[in-house]
Structure 1
Amino acid sequence: MDLLALADFVLVARHGGFGRAARATGRPKATLSRRVAELEASLTLRLFERGRRVLVLTEEGRALAERAGALLTELDETAAAIAAGGGRVRGRLRISAPLLFAQTALGRVAASFALKHPEVRLAVTTEDRAVDMVEEGYDLVIRVNPDPDESLVGRVFLRDRIVVAAAPAWRRPPEDAPVPAVVRTEQDPAVWALAGGGSLAVSPVLALSSLVMVRDAVRAGVGVARLPLSLVGPDLAAGRLVRWGDVAGGETALWALYPSRRLLNARVAAFLDHLGETFPTGAPEELASFIGE
């Protein structure tokens, strides 16, 4: 396969047309068109559907653009690293992270990474939705208990546990008596199953979408709540909250995910190493200690 033709195809795919790619790079439009046609002929595949005014990737073209674009980027980065002596990590790194981890820990994690790798332009976006890494241009996503995705690989770098927490003034009632509760949504169940057997009947009095808000409301004595151990660990240790038990099936895992490919982006690899150094055991207590510092 002609790598120059492949590079030109990726260029046209990224810019959405021969004219746009030519204007952005100063390359002749005719040359780009010829190279892509040669690539299609060598592969015996149509990579673009060509309309009068629109150029659209075929399914095969989209798959090739995604894979080839990632590999060509890796080749460019490898060549740059070799030219620079191979000792520096540089370039842009885009990360999507869930709200709670971003609010409580990621600011300091990102800052220490930036100090360690000053030539990396790190950009973090906070959101809980499942993003499309390729379409939205992310290099790494951090997610809690993500659904399986064959296009992504990753590793668990932190584990957590959901506990029932309350202000010290609250006394646990008999099992059948409901206790006021702060919940995430008004559709939360009226009975919480607890690890090791038993349950807790609750009567929601406040619904808050943010776990940080839920914790603050529990601190204020409004009611009990189900919260991550990492978030309430400092409060439990200081006596501001008490632990009534663990939620059944409340184990969670924080994953760092990236596109599945043989050559791992050097910046992603550096950030994964940094996460491992920051949280060497990955235990809930370790994250709680980090948050409480």
Structure 2
Amino acid sequence: MDLLALADFNLVARHGGFGKASRAAGRPKATLSRRVAELEASLGLRLFDRGRRDLKLTEEGRALFERAGQLLTDLEETAAAIASGGERPRGRLRISAPLLFCQTAMGRLAADFALRYPEVWLDVTTEDRAVDMVEDGFDLVIRVNPDPDESLVGRAFLRDRLVVVAGPRLVRPENGVAAPAVVRAGGERGPWLVKAPAGQERIGIEPVLTLSSLIMVRDAVRTGVGAARLPISLVSHDLADGTLVEWGEVDAPEIALWTLYPTRRLLSARVSAFLDHLKRAFPNGTPDELAAFIGR
């Protein structure tokens, strides 16, 4: 494939027309039109639907544009790094991250990153589902306790744990009596198992509220309406000032936040820079560090 023709196609697709691309790049419109036509002929595909007044990408053209942009950016970065003797992060960095992490930490992380690397356009999407990184065009994903995937590599950068908390006026029940509970939507069931010196203790629950966000769950529990299972990083300040009290640590595997990226991609300067950014923010990856970051 002719990379110069691919670059011209990408230019036209990005600007939405030959005239706009010609004016933006200072290139003859006829040259751009010819190069795109040559690319279509070599591929045996129609990449644009050409109307009288507008130019629209075909389905095949849209797929090529989504992939070609990343490829050309990577090539440009590599050439710039070789020429300058070092890497300088630049271009678009698409990240998918879970809702709670975005609500509590990603805003400040993204802003600090943008100030440090002004040539990188950071594009963060909130997703709790497992996305297809290649198909959806993400450079990096952040996931909670991800399933093993041979096509992805990464590392855990933060760890957390669940605790059962309640308002100070709500007394923990005994003798098998169920406690009023605020649960997250998705079928959270009781009893809750918490760690105890003798092994496990069970806390029976009777849901009184079902909410879709852990932030909402925490805010509801603060009113005293019921108990809830929440990450310690999210409630550590409430526990410290007595707004909430802890009924026990949940007997369950720890929560680990991972950064993941495709194995078949070279680690770009943008991704490396963001990984280093996370390391600076959470050098030890402990719940206390996340709680302190949220508190600030």
Same fold, TM exceeding 0.5? yes
Measure, in 1, the Cα distance between the counterparts of 2:210 and 2:231.
Answer: 17
Measure, in 2, the Cα distance between the counterparts of 1:83 and 1:128.
Answer: 37
2:290 corresponds to: 287
Measure, in 2, the Cα distance between the counterparts of 1:123 and 1:67.
Answer: 18
2:242 corresponds to: 239
1:253 corresponds to: 256
Measure, in 2, the Cα distance between the counterparts of 1:66 and 1:110.
Answer: 23
Contact 1:93/1:139 (8 A) holds in 2:
yes
TM-score by length of 1: 0.75
Gap change, CA 1:74 and 1:125, over 3 Å in 2 = closer
Contact 1:91/1:119 (8 A) holds in 2:
no
Measure, in 2, the Cα distance between the counterparts of 1:68 and 1:85.
Answer: 25
Measure, in 1, the Cα distance between the counterparts of 2:113 and 2:188.
Answer: 40
Measure, in 1, the Cα distance between the counterparts of 2:79 and 2:224.
Answer: 59
Q: 1:204 aligns with which of 187, 204, 207?
A: 207
Gap change, CA 1:103 and 1:160, over 3 Å in 2 = same
Deviations 1:168-225 (A, max 9, x none): 111111141001000112x645523424411110000011101001000000100000
Measure, in 2, the Cα distance between the counterparts of 1:114 and 1:69.
Answer: 21
Matched position secondary structure for 1:234: helix
The offset of 1:132, in angstroms, is 2.3
Q: How does 1:4-19 map to 2 (within 5 A)?
A: none
Matched position secondary structure for 2:234: helix
1:82 corresponds to: 82
The offset of 1:75, in angstroms, is 2.7
Deviations 1:246-293 (A, max 9, x none): 222141111111121352011000000010111001011111111112
Q: How does 1:88-103 map to 2 (within 5 A)?
A: 88-103=88-103
> Aligned residues: percent identity?
66
Gap change, CA 1:184 and 1:7, over 3 Å in 2 = same
Q: Given residue 224 of structure 2, which amino acid in structure 1 is its aligned partner?
A: G
Q: Given residue 168 of structure 1, which amino acid in structure 2 is its aligned partner?
A: P
2:104 corresponds to: 104
The offset of 1:94, in angstroms, is 1.4
Gap change, CA 1:150 and 1:6, over 3 Å in 2 = farther
Q: How does 1:153-192 map to 2 (within 5 A)?
A: 153-185=153-185, 188-192=187-191
Q: Given residue 100 of structure 2, which amino acid in structure 1 is its aligned partner?
A: L
Gap change, CA 1:235 and 1:76, over 3 Å in 2 = same
Measure, in 2, the Cα distance between the counterparts of 1:2 and 1:124.
Answer: 29
Measure, in 2, the Cα distance between the counterparts of 1:266 and 1:215.
Answer: 38
Measure, in 1, the Cα distance between the counterparts of 2:114 and 2:66.
Answer: 28
Q: Given residue 171 of structure 1, which amino acid in structure 2 is its aligned partner?
A: V
The offset of 1:242, in angstroms, is 0.9
Deviations 1:136-189 (A, max 9, x none): 22211111112222222111110111110111111111141001000112x645
2:54 corresponds to: none
2:126 corresponds to: 127
The offset of 1:119, in angstroms, is 2.8
Measure, in 2, the Cα distance between the counterparts of 1:92 and 1:66.
Answer: 12
Measure, in 2, the Cα distance between the counterparts of 1:79 and 1:123.
Answer: 21
**What is the total number of aligned residue pairs between the two structures?**
289
Measure, in 1, the Cα distance between the counterparts of 2:69 and 2:151.
Answer: 15
The offset of 1:229, in angstroms, is 0.8
Q: Given residue 107 of structure 1, which amino acid in structure 2 is its aligned partner?
A: G
Q: Given residue 119 of structure 1, which amino acid in structure 2 is its aligned partner?
A: P
Measure, in 1, the Cα distance between the counterparts of 2:252 and 2:235.
Answer: 18
Matched position secondary structure for 1:271: helix
Contact 2:96/2:141 (8 A) holds in 1:
yes
Q: Given residue 100 of structure 1, which amino acid in structure 2 is its aligned partner?
A: L
Matched position secondary structure for 2:283: coil
> Which segments of 5 or more consecutive residues in structure 2 lack a partner in the other structure?
15-24, 36-63
Gap change, CA 1:4 and 1:189, over 3 Å in 2 = closer
Matched position secondary structure for 1:173: coil
